[in-house]
Structure 1
Amino acid sequence: MPATPPRFAVLGAGAVGGYYGGLLARAGVPVVLIGRPAFVQAVRAQGLRLQTAAFDERIRVAADTDAAAAAGADVVLVCVKSGDTEAAGAALRPHLGPHTAVLSLQNGVDNAERLACVLGRPVVPVVVYVAAGVEAPGHVRHHGRGELVLAPFAQAARVQAAFAQAGVATTVSDAVPQALWTKLVINCAYNALSAITARPYGWLWAQSGVPELLRQVVRECVAVAAADGINLDAAALEADVARIATSMATQLSSTARDLLRGHTTEIDHLNGYVVARARAHGLPAPVNQALQTLVHLLESGRGA
């Protein structure tokens, strides 16, 4: 007989959490989605609408607004915004079992560490490679990719088996810190500029001066990462940034979508994180600082 899959809870069910939680539920893995009231109400009323290139279905899955719904879960996927990490950890902590695995599927490089401090237990950092968005409450649309890279942990094989059942490719790697930094650099290159202009990556790359600006962002990030003990290949990252202009030409950044919807952005955990670490090491990061400041200005102006 096949092994019984672990029970999953997804804390912060939105684009990323809704996508992976929806795939798991569709495959028969027990899941509860924990999210905002509008999202939860829609899922409870009509199921989670998960729209991909392969299917467009409504998936029946448990949903709740209270972190207490995570009680009894074998695995908790934390998918909240970086700025909500500590609050999410405090809400989650009383409901974790002694052997519950907590995985951070968040942007940035330090969320697992911050979450572990609040929970008083190890948290598994996960690199997420997916393009997805919330089209409406309870409606998640997948735009591309979907693989996960997990740091090693005791229950990894069982978790990987559940994701495989759901059609999600996963690998376990000791190089997750480097991968998280690599993803951060790409986000620093495109997210803020896409938000400032409300334009997709392909359009940005085609504008005069933008390729060189993005190369400057990459160089600053690589220098800061090196000071933090993470060695990155600047030339390879610059090539990745150039490729993304074509492979994700129509993609609008998550920071841009946050601004357009009136949500708080994660800019302080992207370009702002690089700026903070640069200050800690006495390094300059003027381009990242300018991008962070401009996004803050747009956030302030939106509320004026």
Structure 2
Amino acid sequence: MKIAIMGAGAVGCFFGGMLARAGNDVVLIGRAQHVEAVERDGLRLEAQSFDERIGHPHLSASTEAAAVAGADLVLFCVKSTDTESAGASIAPHLRADTLVLTLQNGVDNAERLRTVIPQDVAAAVVYVATEMAGPGHVRHHGRGELVIEPARGSLAAALALIEAGVPTEISANVRGALWAKLIVNCAYNALSAISQLPYGRLVEGVGVRDAMQDVLAECVAVAHADGVTLPPDVDASVQRIAQTMPGQYSSTAQDLARGKRSEIDHLNGFVARRGAALGVATPANRLLHALVKLIEDKAHGTI
């Protein structure tokens, strides 16, 4: 397949690298420093079972949204804050039959993307621990499976991912799976960011597990009020993250460490807003959202 990765950060580079390694034609679309490193030296994919550089002829990189032209599949991996603007930038260059697969945090990105892209858009739930270890260098810490929403082209995308070594399934309840992932993110991301601790050490803190349970209970209450059918093992999934990804810092923690704005508005902030709209109290999520925003605003000199 010809595949474009819109937003070649840690998640996009991992899946793009795996797909290129399997022989697909992949272009990474990202920031200039990263693109220059990939074009010069290839993408270094430091996985748990191999450490390789992947480059031409199967992998290239570009800073231009127009590089999606001709792609059968676009993995849309930008921050949730950039969904509409990034979607509008690629829309003129997509083929009529291109599938755009959103690999993002949050639960409403596919809906938002459909407002600016007429092509098929499908949501995907991503379970992977990755980080950018430097320009052109992605490091994989664990997991890597995807759950994809049914759409035209979903089967072909799933087969390509499976052939590339990415465990992938198509599910009719991706909304429930997205909410389950959101709950995990709400439980871990802000606390990891505020403490600047990886998950395994984070959960050892005094009162942390109880605080996470408060966050989880609020998220579940909002999801039920919103008519979402959650998987039966949400609580176990939250507990399991600290065991399967003990050395992982949340994406929110990584953003704050780099002085960047995070996706907290689309995580705990989203739950707080949706709870307010549905009449469900969310004090724990509201507090975590406020604390992360304070850290961001202080770093950017806006408070």
* TM-score normalised to structure 2 length: 0.95
SS in 2 for 1:131: strand
Distance 1:237 1:152 in 2: 22
Residue 42 of structure 1, CA deviation? 0.6
SS in 1 for 2:151: coil
Deviation digits for residues 135-179 of structure 1, max 9, x if unmatched? 001100111111111111122222222112211111111011100
Q: Which residue of 2 aligns with 1:3?
A: none
Residue 233 of structure 1, CA deviation? 6.2
Indicate conservation of the 8 Å contact 2:7/2:78, yes or no: yes
Residue 27 of structure 1, CA deviation? 1.2
Q: Which residue of 2 aligns with 1:8?
A: 3
Aligned residue identity for 2:188? Y
Distance 1:262 1:91 in 2: 25
Q: Which residue of 2 aligns with 1:188?
A: 186
Q: Which residue of 2 aligns with 1:287?
A: 284
5+ residue gaps, structure 2: none
SS in 1 for 2:86: helix
Establish whether residue 30 from structure 1 lines up as the match of residue 3 from structure 2. no
Indicate conservation of the 8 Å contact 1:76/1:103, yes or no: yes
Q: Which residue of 2 aligns with 1:252?
A: 249
Aligned residue identity for 2:278? H
* TM-score normalised to structure 1 length: 0.95
Q: Which residue of 2 aligns with 1:41?
A: 36
1:64-79 to 2 correspondence within 5 Å?
64-79=62-77
Give aligned-pair identity as a percent: 55
Aligned residue identity for 1:297? L
Q: Which range moved further: 191-200 or 243-252?
A: 243-252
Distance 1:97 1:232 in 2: 34
Distance 2:263 2:63 in 1: 22
Indicate conservation of the 8 Å contact 1:222/1:231, yes or no: no
User: Which of 37, 50, 57 pairs up with 2:52?
Assistant: 57
Distance 1:221 1:64 in 2: 39
Over 3 Å counting, the alpha-carbon distance change for 1:252 and 1:73 in structure 2 is same
User: Which of 258, 266, 271 pairs up with 1:269?
Assistant: 266
Indicate conservation of the 8 Å contact 1:126/1:149, yes or no: yes
Aligned residue identity for 1:52? A
Residue 110 of structure 1, CA deviation? 0.4
Residue 250 of structure 1, CA deviation? 2.1
Indicate conservation of the 8 Å contact 2:129/2:245, yes or no: no
SS in 1 for 2:120: coil
Q: Which residue of 2 aligns with 1:229?
A: 227
Q: Which residue of 1 aligns with 2:15?
A: 20
Indicate conservation of the 8 Å contact 2:132/2:139, yes or no: yes
Distance 1:39 1:243 in 2: 33
Distance 1:69 1:244 in 2: 35
Q: Which residue of 1 aligns with 2:105?
A: 107
Deviation digits for residues 80-117 of structure 1, max 9, x if unmatched? 00001011111011001111111101111000110011
1:203-214 to 2 correspondence within 5 Å?
203-214=201-212
Residue 36 of structure 1, CA deviation? 0.8
Indicate conservation of the 8 Å contact 1:205/1:211, yes or no: yes
1:144-155 to 2 correspondence within 5 Å?
144-155=142-153
User: Which of 130, 133, 139 pairs up with 1:132?
Assistant: 130
SS in 2 for 1:294: helix
SS in 1 for 2:129: strand
